[in-house]
Amino acid sequence: MKSEREQKLIEQAYAEVEKYETLVNRDRYRLRYHLMPPVGLMNDPNGLIDWHGTYHVFYQWMPFRTGHGAKFWGHYTSPDLVHWQAAPIALAPSEWYDKDGCYSGSAISCDGKLVLFYTGNVKDEQGNRQTYQCMAVSEDGIHFTKKGVVITLPDGYTAHFRDPKVWRYQGHWYMILGAQSESGDGKAVLFRSADLCHWEHLGPIAGGNMNGLGPFGYMWECPDLFPLDGQDVLIVCPQGLKPDGMRYQNVYQSGYFVGRFDYERAEFLHGTFEELDRGFEFYAPQTMLDRNGRRILIGWMGVPDQDEDRQPTVSHRWVHALTLPRELRLTGGKLRQTPVEELKQLRKQKVAYPSATVVNELRSWPGLEGDAIELRLDNIELFGSMMEIYFRHAARLVYNSDEGVLTLERKSFVNGLTEKRQCRLPRLRSLHVFLDTSSIELFVNDGEETFTARFFPHPDDQTILFGTHGHLHMDIEKWDLLR
């Protein structure tokens, strides 16, 4: 049962959806096959789980404006990771322990129930923060009852202590949280429980000035620890990293460490930090293990404090979206991300150009244009110094083979100037592009690198152009995508 206060907040949120439905849906930048908020601001994906034959994605949601605030948990469900349906609002910020936001968290299955863990955010009149780790339970996966606080803030940390990710291992439950130590270091902190209600604090397993890492940001958000292909992976979002060459160009970062986690010692020995995505908008990813044994990741197509209020969709009363679901694999100590196979269900009207050639020119092919398409370039062979692809005259992908650098450029939605994100790439072999009305997701060399970004071309411009300095050969396949 939900409290009277929670029911009232949920009713107010639905009223907001109804009030702005026409305005939101009139926006030509609404995406065709990505998850978006019905109104207001969407951020972190939460509670990813494959439960009783249904995929669940919850998300941070502010329905009353396109800025941050006291977050709800919105909810989508799907039988196949492709066709999604809006489910009833799962959580609203209604109780003393979460009145200023039901912040991010995760979902698990226990005794036939779907159990959510989330951070309750509380602020006093002076803006001082308190934080609580909370639990909610559902019998049907749709209607949730809050059970209250299960963990209060332990000694040694500030109130920036949030985003519980919970899993089971050899008879115990484990919870990892993002934290800031009192000394100002970002940390990933571990707890253990036998019953989900009583939790033992095991301490930090990774963070700044640990494991030989040195200082590494002032706060770590959204940690996720899981086994993959014989090793352990810790995904985390450090805040406070300074730009370093091509790396760390966004306001906040999202990346991972690969290593070995010792459950007996609660110790994680790991290698270097690697960014998950090289694009402009990618943050707060979460993973789940699905019915087929795959490790599936979904991220937020946004970054906090990165000109969110300047995105063009704000005038239509909504902002942000989630990425496509991606399967993770670990190859040579590096995470590879590839779009899940189920997305092929979206394909319509295939166009193919085997052995396509571009020679010192800028050209296009009939049928490759579109604003919601999938594009594959395979067997790429470049005999020359540079190739480029223009997407709707608002984004450009450039590969410089002499320097071994891949660059994604776009027109800034803040000032209209060209901005870029880059990575080192010794050789370009393939590109897998998912283009939506106002987003692009690039999977390079079968997921060796990814670039995720929002961009806002003229809605009537569907042009895709290919250019080279030299000779370019490739096999091209393109599909229109329709959900």
309-356 pLDDT per residue, tens: 999 999 999 999 999 999 999 999 999 999 999 999 999 999 999 999
**Residues taking part in catalysis:** 44
CATH topology for the 342-481 domain: Jelly Rolls (2.60.120)
Whats the size of the chain, residue-wise? 483
**CA 13 – CA 62 distance, rounded (Å):** 9
CB burial class (10 A; 0-12, 13-18, 19+) of residue 249?
middle
> Rg of the chain over CA atoms, in angstroms?
22
CB burial class (10 A; 0-12, 13-18, 19+) of residue 211?
middle
**CA 243 – CA 375 distance, rounded (Å):** 31
pLDDT at residue 483, rounded to an integer: 82
* CB neighbours of residue 251 within 10 Å: 14
pLDDT at residue 126, rounded to an integer: 87
**CA 481 – CA 244 distance, rounded (Å):** 37
| 412 touches 419 (CB < 8 A) | yes
pLDDT at residue 1, rounded to an integer: 85
Its sign, for the CA torsion 382, 385, 390, 396, is: positive
Angle value at C-alpha 218, between 213 and 223, nearest 5 degrees? 75
pLDDT at residue 202, rounded to an integer: 98
- What stretches in the chain show pLDDT beneath 70? none
Location of each CATH 2.115.10.20 domain in the chain: 4-339
- pLDDT tens digits for range 374-396: 999 999 999 999 999 999 999 99
At 399, is the secondary structure helix, strand, or coil? strand
pLDDT at residue 225, rounded to an integer: 98
Nearest to 114 by CA among 90, 135, 141: 141
Q: Give Cα 406 to chain centroid, integer Å.
A: 22
Location of each CATH 2.60.120.560 domain in the chain: 342-481
Beta pairing class for 172-181 and 267-270: unpaired
**CA 398 – CA 422 distance, rounded (Å):** 9
pLDDT at residue 423, rounded to an integer: 98
pLDDT at residue 127, rounded to an integer: 85
**Which two structure tokens, joined as six digits, stand for 121?**
């955010």
Q: Which strands, in side-by-side order, build the sheet including 102-110?
A: 102-110, 113-123, 129-138, 145-152
CATH of domain 4-339: 2.115.10.20
